[in-house]
Structure 1
């Protein structure tokens, strides 16, 4: 099978960074056509910067990075420096990027790429708020049938919320964008908190990253060292959940995950439940299924895959 062509839409974020690294370390399964930055965990200027830092860390300065929307469709931007630090990539001491930011806006890059590539050959991988993807679909409705699949991190059902009692951060930041994407008729696979909170970086797992003895291994270990302090305090967990790498791990080894094809609606009106993913897990309504919501993963296999792939970076065949 040829590698799966993807566009990563992201707001790095330490876990976003690990997701990008996993994708770039898996060229047999994944071809990264480009990375589009969106405002989310930190403002757009920093997410675009962080995406380039990660590409250079992986030895892939050839990957085009495009800056996109700097605010949600209809609301003020909510950020998460309290989790990710002021830079979004607090933890490791990484140099400023030298690779250029592309001139083309992220939304235009998404539209142009989907129109240029064969129909059904490109998967979109949103790791942050869905503003760029929703804007592209609204501006160019003809791209919807050209998308192979949208595999995203966001939402929850039993776990419910991590930024409000009922909402997961990515969906909460731009619920109107999420509602548009889930209504677009595109095949969607979702990695919700219910799955990602099972992908915990315990101390032995983080030690395995550090033991790789590479710049990437040390950087990832330092990212998760920083990242986990918030989750340990908030949840009393054994480590930090690696939310976004579940997206790229699914593209490499989908059998690690299990889930259900169900109906998912996005709450955009209620003050109490704004941004909630109303997931009909038990199929108690007659609403048509529109997304595959993952419910579980094999955490040991997930971390074995992640550690092995991170150990490959930088790839010897990478473009300098």
Structure 2
């Protein structure tokens, strides 16, 4: 039976990224297929992010063996058993800016020292030879590689693997779920925008629209880490991508502008902090869930207990209080959406929003800017002229008097489907624990 959803996960593990990956791999084959895991820098440097992905598969291999040994033979992790995702390595730094990491929250290795705490749950370093050189790391090709049989390593840059999959698979069958900085996605879109737009949907965890940021007062980390990439990707939702493209300064990757004529607009579903922050995993619920599993010797319980306990302690330190802390499930929420996308409780804004990314502001880089004025937009029916034989080839756009930067033209600006409601912020933590550990 064909899987319900086929996805590429672009990720920078990271604590909540790992939880998102576990949730995806715990699905049934009928719910989800993870076709590829695209690794980027972000919460920690690229090499550490990749190590965490390889370690995750290593732990799951041990976990499934342990479950079999104790007679726990449920159908959990069906997607992991049924499919074998490609793991590819992507960008090690933003398109133009210096690298910014969040190891103050996730720990130096991205998982609060889990590799040092449980060396038996970390793969031998010979896995590095399975991938292309990572940030100048020496090759270990002479050593026999060690890695889990549950994934296929790739030496091709991840943005090119994305394009290959989109090119080879039928249009509208692959969704990209981006839960890290959007650099890899932006590189794919720039290299071959026509192929990239074969994607069914781009699900993005990023931004803060009506709430405070978590990297700066106005910006969420993923979009702050590479605001240029986010702006370029968001521009593909516009009828005229040039109207919201960021200004070019360094252009270290020699990225070309998008063609004036594209086959269609990108469908982008945005999960900003507004919707993700209230969906929490409470420490007491986690502790209660894994207590017996730790006593029984579950490798997954041991592994997750280390980095989640470290995260809960870090939250307490940052807030200056000790209580039943909650970890916001930013990235896992995007996977829950993929698992339950047909649930009518998922609600986007009534009409796609013109959300633009600030890329130049000294204090506002990465900010998601929306037009909160009450002025009417131009009449949609009379603002555009096209060639009669080719309606996609626009030749004239009416300008709106007093409109600065195209905020009032219906033909300019982005079209973002911001998600504003889920099946229940009060139940997601329980759902996550059940799927990962039952």
TM-score by length of 1: 0.89
Superposed CA offset, 1:217-271 (max 9, x none): 4433332211223333435683221211011011112345433132211001111
Is 1:304–2:423 an aligned residue pair? Answer: no
Partner residue, 1:13: 14
Cα distance in 1 for residues equivalent to 2:331 and 2:282: 17
Superposed counterparts of 1:167-316, under 5 Å: 167-185=219-237, 186-211=266-291, 213=293, 214-235=298-319, 238-254=325-341, 255=343, 257-260=346-349, 261-279=352-370, 286=408, 290-297=415-422, 298-312=424-438
Cα distance in 2 for residues equivalent to 1:234 and 1:189: 31
Cα distance in 2 for residues equivalent to 1:266 and 1:44: 24
Superposed counterparts of 1:52-201, under 5 Å: 52-59=54-61, 60=80, 62-90=84-112, 92=114, 93=118, 94-96=121-123, 98-99=146-147, 101-185=153-237, 186-201=266-281
Cα distance in 2 for residues equivalent to 1:216 and 1:259: 34
Unaligned runs of 5+ in 2: 62-79, 125-145, 238-265, 376-406
Q: 1:140 to 1:168 in 2, by over 3 A?
A: same
Q: 1:204 to 1:14 in 2, by over 3 A?
A: same
Give yes or no for contact 1:259–1:294 (8 Å, CA) kept in 2: yes
- Tell me by how many angstroms 1:46 deviates: 1.1
Q: 1:274 to 1:204 in 2, by over 3 A?
A: same
Superposed CA offset, 1:146-186 (max 9, x none): 00001121111222311111110000010000001111131
Q: 1:25 to 1:212 in 2, by over 3 A?
A: farther
Cα distance in 2 for residues equivalent to 1:176 and 1:2: 34
Cα distance in 2 for residues equivalent to 1:53 and 1:135: 26
Give yes or no for contact 2:163–2:196 (8 Å, CA) kept in 1: no
My pick for the range that moved more, 45-54 or 129-138, is 45-54
Partner residue, 1:4: 5
Partner residue, 1:44: 46
1:150 is paired with a residue whose SS is: strand
- Tell me by how many angstroms 1:43 deviates: 1.0
Superposed CA offset, 1:198-217 (max 9, x none): 12221232124414723324
- Tell me by how many angstroms 1:283 deviates: 8.1
Give yes or no for contact 1:201–1:224 (8 Å, CA) kept in 2: no
2:229 is paired with a residue whose SS is: helix
My pick for the range that moved more, 119-128 or 180-189, is 180-189
Q: 1:271 to 1:25 in 2, by over 3 A?
A: same
1:160 is paired with a residue whose SS is: coil
Give yes or no for contact 2:181–2:223 (8 Å, CA) kept in 1: yes
- Tell me by how many angstroms 1:131 deviates: 0.2
My pick for the range that moved more, 296-305 or 74-83, is 296-305
Cα distance in 2 for residues equivalent to 1:279 and 1:300: 29
- Tell me by how many angstroms 1:4 deviates: 0.6
Cα distance in 2 for residues equivalent to 1:249 and 1:220: 19
Q: 1:281 to 1:245 in 2, by over 3 A?
A: farther
Give yes or no for contact 2:10–2:177 (8 Å, CA) kept in 1: yes
Provide the aligned C-alpha RMSD in A: 2.4
Give yes or no for contact 1:38–1:132 (8 Å, CA) kept in 2: yes
2:426 is paired with a residue whose SS is: helix
Q: 1:17 to 1:212 in 2, by over 3 A?
A: farther
Unaligned runs of 5+ in 1: 313-320
- Tell me by how many angstroms 1:72 deviates: 0.4
My pick for the range that moved more, 42-51 or 231-240, is 231-240
Q: 1:300 to 1:116 in 2, by over 3 A?
A: same
Larger radius of gyration: 2
